[in-house]
Amino acid sequence: MSTQLPQSHQARRLGGAQIAALVAAGLIALLSTGLLAAGAWGLWGENSKDADGFFTSGYERYSTSTRAITTENLDMDLDGPVGLLDESMFGKVRLKVEPRADTPVFVGIGRTRDVDAYLSGAARDVVTDLELDPFQVDYDRVRGGERPARPRSQDFWVASAQGRDTQTLTWDVDDGDWSIVVMNADGSAGVDTLVDTGVKLPWLTALGWGVLGAGLIGALVAWLITLVAIRGRRPAQPTHPIAA
């Protein structure tokens, strides 16, 4: 007389290779989910651009009782492999500055060393931290008692604008150390403005589609690996009857 092991013992089992394949498929699927989300976010951001293709912050108030508002050093390090790309790929910065008083406003971008030399001895507020949602700006105050020369008289600005109404400055991002300056056109104290900051990144759409495509390919690969692993299971070796 003999008995046979229960049917469950004869069920097909996953081998080590199949388990490894399923784990790999799971990791690929997880990575693909992140890529799909990033790609979708990048393409969604395209709908946030204005008519000129800029992502904008909206107008926010920047004011100081000193003679100027400046940014900290903006280190645009475009050397190395990035420097081999077309300069247009670095994007553009656009500033729209609207004075809230009757005094004409000036906005300019220059090398940080030149800006520091120009405003040496003049009181100014330096933007150290900026949050857009909700808007909050923090400054460090540099004290001084001198009145700077009119900014328009300086020749180091790579981009600038001046006037009584809304002024628009557009700058092609370039390698180097830069500072943005907002001040009254006559160099007087008490700067009160509304500023809209915009950035144009021409490569963002292509990047969004590329990342989205990579995510779709990754999801397909994960599905195929899972399918092959499941269909490739081998039945367990039949058990021998146990003699009574």
Please report, for the domain that includes residue 90, its CATH number: 2.60.120.380
Q: In terms of domains, do 197 and 79 share one?
A: yes
> Does 217 lie in the same domain as 183?
no
| Cα 145 from Cα 31, distance rounded (Å) | 57
Looking at the structure, do residues 90 and 190 belong to the same domain, yes or no? yes
Same domain, 123 and 142: yes
- Residue 27 pLDDT exceeds 60: yes
When pLDDT is averaged across residues 148-161 and rounded to a whole number, the result is 96
The confidence score (pLDDT) of residue 86 equals 46
Q: Which two tokens stand for residue 86?
A: 């077309």
Q: Are residues 26 and 66 in the same domain?
A: no
Q: Please tell me whether residues 67 and 97 are part of one structural domain.
A: yes
Residue 213 has pLDDT above 70, yes or no: no
Q: Region 24-39: what's the mean pLDDT? A: 60
> How far, in Å, CA of 152 to CA of 60, rounded?
24
Domain count of the chain?
Answer: 2
- The pLDDT of residue 53 is 74
Nearest alpha-carbon partner for 66 in 127, 144, 157: 144
pLDDT at position 44: 54
Same domain, 88 and 153: yes
What does the mean pLDDT of the chain come to? Answer: 76
Q: Are residues 57 and 178 both part of a single domain?
A: yes
Shared-domain flag, residues 153 and 191: yes
37 pLDDT higher than 90: no
- Residue-wise pLDDT for 60-115, tens only, equals 999 999 999 999 998 876 654 444 444 445 678 899 999 998 899 999 999 999 99
Domain that residue 33 falls in: 2-45+205-243
- The predicted model gives 204-221 an average pLDDT of 58
Across 50-54, 158-162, 164-168, least confident range: 50-54
Is pLDDT of 191 > 80?
A: yes
Q: Kindly state whether residues 54 and 170 are assigned to the same domain.
A: yes
Share of the chain above pLDDT 70, in %: 56
Q: Residue 132 pLDDT more than 60?
A: yes
Q: Say yes or no: 189 and 97 in one domain.
A: yes
- Looking up tokens 């910065």 gives 93
For residue 84, what pLDDT is reported? 41
pLDDT digits 0-9 by tens, 70-83? 999 988 766 544 44
201 has a pLDDT exceeding 80: no
Q: What is the mean pLDDT of residues 181-187?
A: 96
Mean pLDDT value across residues 185-191: 96
- Residues contacting 93, CB < 8 A, separation 6+: 109, 170, 171, 173, 197, 198, 199
Neighbours of 211 (CB within 10 A): 20
- Indicate if 152 and 59 belong to the same structural domain: yes
